[in-house]
Amino acid sequence: MTATVRVCRHCDEPITDPEDAVLVAHELGNSGPGWDIYAHRDHVDLVELIDPVVLRIMARIWTAQVQR
């Protein structure tokens, strides 16, 4: 069991300090509970969140491609 590494949504750098990690969103996975999206405290305002509706459509496209 490895520890979950939180990666900043904005700069893609690992967030090593838990105090610096801010939960900005939760994405649903195709199977399973999905995953949480984090960002550095300084980067929260810079994160561009994917619209949930767009994400659902994209997930459907990705799933269709996998099944082909």
| CB contact at 8 A, 47 and 12 | no
Gap between the Cα atoms of 44 and 42, Å rounded: 6
Please tell me whether residue 7 binds Zn ion under the rule CB under 5 A: no
Binding Zn ion (rule: CB under 5 A), the pick from 8, 21, 22, 37 is 8
Task: Check binding of 37 to Zn ion (CB under 5 A).
Answer: no
Token code pair at residue 65: 């491609």
Instruction: For the CB of residue 25, give the shortest distance to Zn ion in the complex, in Å.
Output: 14
Q: Which is nearer to Zn ion, 11 or 55 (CB)?
A: 11
By the criterion CB under 5 A, which residues form the site for Zn ion?
8, 10-11, 40, 43
